Amino acid sequence: MRGQLPDPRHAAEDAAVSSLHHAQRVRRKSILPEVDGIGARMEPRVTRLHSRARAAIRDGQYDLATELYNSILYRMPRRGDVSPATIERTYLLLALHEQRKGRVDVARRIFNEGIVHFPHSTKLLVALALMESKNGYVDKAIKLVKKAAVRNPERCAMVLKWKIFQPEAPTTA
């Protein structure tokens, strides 16, 4: 293959693949140049990205904040350099950010993706439950809180005391 001319029958396909690879490189570099070539100490960089996202939200730059969170979750190499707790927190922050923007379906997808990666995360389960309860899905919220309580009863004790999560008392006539 080396030194051979490209097959003209596949020129369009080769051009499309080359264009796609170029677009992916440009997109990744254009968002966060310092993300490329990350070495062994990624945790402090992720912390800075979280701070930049919070600042972007304060400044009303919501799309930038979304891109910063997405860059942590989907564009950074996974080498074990970032603690699972930090990645879990990023899922939470991105989902809450999308929820505040009114994009409940996107927030729900991000919460669920985070729960797939961190199935024992009471933070993600309870936050999703609260979002579901706010949006009228109380039964779904109760199931999520009960699931979280089985995994970590101490952390869920306060939430379980909320009226919405209490069983209905029978009414007397």
Please write the tens of the pLDDT for every residue from 111-156. 999 999 999 899 999 999 999 989 999 889 889 988 888 888 777 7
* Average pLDDT of the residues in 78-102: 89
Q: CB of 47 within 8 A of CB of 34?
A: no
4-53 pLDDT tens trace: 555 555 555 555 445 444 444 444 443 444 444 444 468 888 999 999 99
> What is the domain extent for residue 124?
120-167
Together in a domain, 105 and 131: no
Q: Which residue has the tokens 């972007």?
A: 56
Same-domain status, 55 and 110: yes
Helix (H) or strand (E) holding 115: helix 104-117
Domain identity same for 114 and 131:
no
pLDDT-derived band at 62 (thresholds 50, 70, 90) equals: very high
pTM of the model: 0.69
